[in-house]
Structure 1
Amino acid sequence: MKSAWIILSALVAGMLLGIAVETVSPDASTASLPFVEPIGLLWLNALKMTIVPLIVALLITGITATADAARAGALAGRAVMIFLGAITLSGTMSLLMTPLLLHLFPLSASAADALRHGLGGTAETGASPSFGDFLLSLIPTNPIAAAADTAILPLIVFTTIFAFAITRVAPEQRALLSGLFKALGDAMLIVIGWVLALAPIGVFALGYALAVKAGVAAFGGLVHYVLILMSIGVCAVILGIILAWLVVGIAPPRFLRAMVPTLAVAISTQSSLASLPAMLKSSEALGVDPKKADIVLPLAVALFRFTSPAMNLAVVVYVAWLFGITLTPWEMAVGLLVAIAAALSSVSLPGSISFVTSIAPIAVSMGVPVAPLALLVAVETFPDIFRTLGNVIGDVAATKYAADGIKDDPAGETP
């Protein structure tokens, strides 16, 4: 929380300074750009260098961890299937609702041009590939070359196949390979932590450059982005309540009454992990066997982030819309798959770290620029509230649904 506010303050300070210098002396602001902007771009490049190893590590650890959890018994297996279904619905909702919201509440042309110019101008887009070209690009002839060329889609296909192969080898070998890629992911998280420790400096420089290029209109563009993202968060919360009602069978008034303590903790901490004790009490109030809740809820906190695909895809779709990139159905499908893998493999991390680790692979897989994420991470403080609210609602509803489907010993092998 403190780190997020520091990064946001750095962005605001950089933009205010840029606007002030541009107002007082346009020549001075233009002359200062070659000295200030490279600092931000250097920080951005440091973030970018972790993307390819992160994609590989997240996909493999996400798939193997999910497979291992599904083997842990009937209740755990049922819970994992519920998690997968729920986050798929969440991501699909976002792919439908984000373009609709952008159509209904568009950013003014001047503000859009200013924000786009400040975030890097126009994105380079080539001709859309045919469906045949798309199919041929799925299988890499050389996965190492695909990684070196940042050919993300074939790299994802190879990594996914490799991850499922790991789940079929002997337990000792599976543990060895899973541990290797888990260690790779953890090492990349440490690197990202180091890079984000310098975020106030990098974001200040990028904010200054954005204000010099875009002026006051950049503030309006960022506010529009935050409001769209928060709206998707509200949609995710509503979707969770509707699923609890129509699928789990809990009337909204009863569900919300039981969730009040959990929602209060979620708002104050913005952490699903910190909300776990309150979620256990809410589950008990909804009639969940405490022994079953003790199995499913920790598993949900570790694997299940209901709002993650929705919010992360909304960020990528917004950036694509801002830069005039038309996303094809198969690009959206690939983005959804990567978003699901990222949601399953993201551990409980500070919001600024999880923002980069979860969204950058999705953006790259969909052919959307990654550079804007360096500034958008600074305004994640407000949407993150809705991420946490939706996550705890999804955790408790999924726990109730999983527990109701298991009538015997929760650790048993058959439902």
Structure 2
Amino acid sequence: MKNGRLGEDVKYVEPRSSPTCCEKFGQWIKDNLLLVLIIIGVVLALLIGFLLKEHSSHDFTKREVYYISFPGVLFLNMLKMLIIPLIVTSVVAGLATLDVSTAGRMGWRTVLYYFCTTILAVILGIILVVAIHPGKGNPDDMVRSGQSKQVKAEDAFMDLLRNIFPPNLIGATMEKYKTFEPEVEDPGETTLNATNGTADNDAMLLIMSDAPKGGMVSGMNVLGIIVFSIALGVTIAKMGELGTPLVIWFVALNEAVMRIVWIVMWYSPIGIMFLVLGRVLGMDDWATVAGQLGMYCVTVITGLLIHGLIVLPLAYLIFARKNPIKFLLNVLPALLTAFGTASSSATLPVTIRCLETKARLDKRVTQFVLPVGATINMDGTALYEAVAAIFIAQVYGYDLDIGGYITISITATLASIGAAGIPEAGLVTMVIVLTAVGLPAEGVTLIIIIDWLIDRIRTTVNVFGDSVGAGIINRYTLRDFEKQEEEQFHGVDAIEMGEGRYTADNEGFTKDELMNPL
């Protein structure tokens, strides 16, 4: 058959038949193999763990549980190893490729979203705990676990501000500042200095002052590192051509870190399975816990599910105007990782990978919004702290007035910002909320026994809240990106350089070169 216009032979192509259901399912399995393996790992861990707990006569010791959890500990260490290089490179690279005005708009949108969703979570938790009223037990008859530590709210907030500006940036990768309650010595034990007959200075300070003492404790100061990275990224963005080599270096290093993350993710099904299995085997008598804290668990988990499956998807549907179910499936590997590790910071590499490769969000949004969210956005933690504080008040017979509820709302919101993205960090900030409304700090020991499960669920909600925020902010910020690119590259001749392109003006490299340097 001849083509009348070109005189060339035209081959007849058989129309392709639509794929069958089996072919579609097989292609879905192939495209989502990692997700399927993670789900299988979590289900197997829960199934094996509960079967061994219920039908095995052997009581697993802490040492045995430690050995069983060890493959998961290795996975957790791998993720923690990537936190610092990922946060620094992603935040700096993301902000350095933006102009200051665009970065500022993205920043206040991020903060506004985090504040609004956290307040909604706290209000939801208060409504549920007041309506269900789970705290009907006698505190003397309830099983206690662990110890409580007295923490003053003002000291905790000062620690938060102090950690924003670490005195040693390298030290911030290994330790952070924490205030301790002063230990006042007995005046009778004071020693005199033989030379001048005065009391020893250190002892005298302890006697004469109840000022809080503090020092550096082990743990990454992620907040301080993020603040420095934001400052560095904005500064490089304002340097123009002089900062171009730094931009390229940070973008390339970020790409290298993300490739390592992809390798680690293929170990995640095994790591998550053993982490969950170890927690199930190490839990206390489930029947006793369910009997005493059953309604408390129902209240907290119900609130977390409503916030995670209704409030956040509804916000995504309204503001991002996209299918929230599809978005949820795209970030499901990150949510399962959050459930297994109980750490939003450790899950950060997986979250960024899912949103960039599956949800197709702009790298400049994910690289800024997600690291900040993993540090200060704790919807699930804020909801849990509000519910737990009112539950403890109900158990001890405290009658809270409207002022008490408002205090809990504000304190839970602020305390969740200071909560570290590590397992069971909410218990530490929980004491702050209790102290603010005059509740006994030892009330925390009533809920520690079940916190391992609730911690995993609230961490999952925290990560999903970060992801939804990135999706919403991505929609509104893309218009700023397009406007910036039009202003930056309009009328500028591009020069070919290998497989990449760079501009001849003082603004540096094009978007394609900056975002895909390799």
Q: State if a TM-score over 0.5 links the two structures.
A: yes
Task: Kindly state the Cα deviation for residue 219 of structure 1 after the two structures are TM-superposed.
Answer: 5.9
Q: Identify if the C-alpha distance between structure 1 residues 191 and 327 changes in structure 2 by more than 3 Å, giving closer, same or farther.
A: farther
* Distance of 1:219 and 1:159 partners within structure 2: 33
Q: Structure 1 residues 189 and 394, CA, compared in 2 at 3 Å: closer, same or farther?
A: farther
- Residue from 97, 118, 123 that aligns with 1:92: 123
Contact 2:159 2:177 (8 Å CA) reproduced: no
> How far, CA to CA, are the matches of 1:345 and 1:392 in structure 2?
16
The alpha carbon displacement at 1:368 in A equals 2.0
**Which secondary structure state, in structure 1, belongs to the residue aligned with residue 177 of structure 2?**
helix
Deviation at 1:294, TM superposition (A): 1.0
In the TM superposition, 1:13-412 aligns within 5 A as 73-102=104-133, 106=134, 112-113=137-138, 115-118=139-142, 156=154, 183-184=177-178, 190=217, 220-238=291-309, 239-284=311-356, 285-351=358-424, 354-406=425-477, 407-409=479-481
Q: Residues 119 and 372 of structure 1 are in contact (CA less than 8 Å); yes or no, is this contact kept in structure 2? A: no
Contact 2:159 2:179 in 1 (8 A): no
- 1:363 deviates by 0.8
How many corresponding residue pairs? Answer: 276
Q: 1:376 to 1:75 in 2, by over 3 A?
A: same
For residues 354 and 473 of structure 2, the distance between their equivalents in structure 1, rounded to whole angstroms, comes to 15
Structure 1 residues 163 and 301, CA, compared in 2 at 3 Å: closer, same or farther?
closer
Instruction: Measure, in 2, the Cα distance between the counterparts of 1:174 and 1:236.
Output: 33
How far apart are 1:217 and its partner, in Å? Answer: 7.0
Distance of aligned partners of 1:377 and 1:286 in 2 relative to their CA distance in 1, 3 Å threshold: same
Separation in 2, partners of 1:323, 1:189: 35
Q: What 5-or-longer segments of structure 1 have no aligned partner?
A: 1-11, 13-68, 121-147, 168-172, 193-207
CA contact (8 A) 2:378 2:416 kept: yes
- What's the offset of the Cα at 1:359? 0.4
Letter in 2 for 1:324: G
TM superposition shift of 1:391: 0.9
86-95 or 270-279: which moved more? 270-279
Secondary structure of 1:73 counterpart:
helix
Structure having greater relative contact order (Cα 8 Å, sep ≥ 6)? 1
- Post-superposition offset of 1:257: 2.0
Given the superposition, is the C-alpha separation of residues 217 and 79 from structure 1 closer, same or farther in structure 2, using an over 3 Å criterion?
closer
Give 1:339 deviation, angstroms: 1.4
Instruction: Look up the SS of the partner of 2:379 in the other structure.
Output: coil
User: 1:368/1:308 Cα in 2 relative to 1: closer, same or farther (>3 Å)?
Assistant: same
Counterpart CA distance in 2 for 1:327 and 1:188 is 35
Q: Which residue of 2 aligns with 1:25?
A: none
- The corresponding residue for 1:39 is none
Q: Give the alignment's Cα RMSD to 1 decimal.
A: 4.2
In 2 relative to 1, CA 188–87 (structure 1 residues): closer, same or farther, beyond 3 Å? farther
Supply the AA of the counterpart residue of 2:401.
Answer: T
Q: Is the 8 A contact 1:233 1:383 kept in 2?
A: no
Q: Distance in 2 between matches of 1:159 and 1:390?
A: 24
Cα pair distance change 1:257/1:184, threshold 3 Å: closer
Give the drift of 1:371. Answer: 1.0
Shift of 1:163: 10
Change (3 A) 1:288 1:323: same
Residues in 2 aligned to 1:96 and 1:289: alpha-carbon distance in whole angstroms:
37
Give TM-score, length-normalised by structure 1: 0.56
Does the Cα contact within 8 Å between 1:230 and 1:382 map onto a contact in 2? no
Q: Is the 8 A contact 1:241 1:393 kept in 2?
A: no
SS at match of 2:480: coil
CA, structure 1 residues 188+241, in 2 after alignment: closer, same or farther (shift >3 Å)?
A: farther
Larger radius of gyration: 2
Q: Which position in structure 1 is the counterpart of 2:195?
A: none
- Inter-partner Cα distance in structure 1 for 2:375 and 2:360: 23
Amino acid at match of 2:421: S
Counterparts of 2:329 and 2:218, CA distance in 1: 42
Instruction: Write the distance in 2 (CA, Å) between the matches of 1:371 and 1:338.
Output: 18
Work out the percentage of aligned pairs sharing the same amino acid.
17
CA contact (8 A) 2:348 2:371 kept: yes
Deviations 1:276-331 (A, max 9, x none): 23322332333421122111111111211121110111111111122222211221
Conserved? CA contact 1:240–1:390, under 8 Å: no
Post-superposition offset of 1:355: 3.0
Distance of 2:324 and 2:452 partners within structure 1: 28
- CA distance in 2 between partners of 1:296 and 1:87 (Å): 15
Q: Please report how far the alpha carbon of residue 119 of structure 1 lies from its aligned counterpart in structure 2 after TM superposition.
A: 7.1
Shift of 1:360: 0.3
